[in-house]
């Protein structure tokens, strides 16, 4: 399923929920990957990708595959390390720092908590940069 959210009359946010996490057969997964690849490569209006990862378990194999693929099509990437409220401040800082080191400087990355509403301003700035 692909979910579209209108930002304005000419701008949309697109959500691809659970692309790497759903428990389905290999044939369905292969079909999803094919459709996802076609969708992302054919969208000339696409400005960037926001990937959500649990801060306690960032950069799983499926995340690395998506990051490498998005890099190969030169699409800007912004990582949200979600559930940051589940970690102490020191562990949150360490997890963010470790992830940034592994990703490199060309990918932006931030800690995020929907519970505490932390990181919304930074995410909004990143998305606005892409949409301008």
Report d(CA 103, CA 105) in Å as an integer.
7
CATH no. for 3-131: 3.40.50.300
Residue carrying the six token digits 């930074």: 122
Average pLDDT over residues 48-58: 93
Beta strands (DSSP E) in 7-131 are: 12-15, 49-54, 77-82, 108-111
Residue 19: its pLDDT value, please? 61
Residue carrying the six token digits 């301008």: 132
Residue 101: its pLDDT value, please? 94
The number of residues making up the chain comes to 132
Q: Report pTM.
A: 0.84
Q: What percent of the chain has pLDDT over 90?
A: 41
Half-sphere exposure of 107 (CA within 13 A, CB side): 27
Report d(CA 40, CA 15) in Å as an integer.
12
Domain assignments of the chain as residue spans, ordered by start: 3-131
Q: Tell me the pLDDT band of 23, cut-offs 50, 70 and 90.
A: low
Q: What percent of the chain has pLDDT over 70?
A: 92
Q: Is the pLDDT of residue 20 over 70?
A: no
Residues 55 and 95 sit within 8 Å (Cβ to Cβ): yes
Report d(CA 3, CA 17) in Å as an integer.
8
Residue 15: its pLDDT value, please? 83
């Amino acid at each position: 399923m692909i979910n579209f959210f209108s930002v304005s009359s000419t701008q949309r946010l697109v959500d691809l929920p659970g692309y790497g996490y759903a428990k389905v057969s290999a044939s369905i997964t292969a079909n999803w990957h094919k459709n996802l690849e076609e969708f992302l490569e054919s969208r000339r209006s696409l400005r960037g990708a926001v990937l959500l990862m649990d801060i306690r378990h960032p950069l799983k194999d499926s995340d690395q595959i998506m990051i490498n693929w998005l890099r190969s099509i030169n699409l800007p990437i912004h990582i949200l390390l979600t559930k940051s409220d589940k970690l102490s401040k020191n562990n949150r800082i360490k997890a963010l720092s470790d992830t940034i080191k592994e990703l490199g400087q060309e990918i932006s990355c931030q800690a995020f908590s929907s519970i505490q509403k932390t990181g919304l301003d930074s995410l909004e700035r990143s998305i606005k940069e892409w949409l301008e």
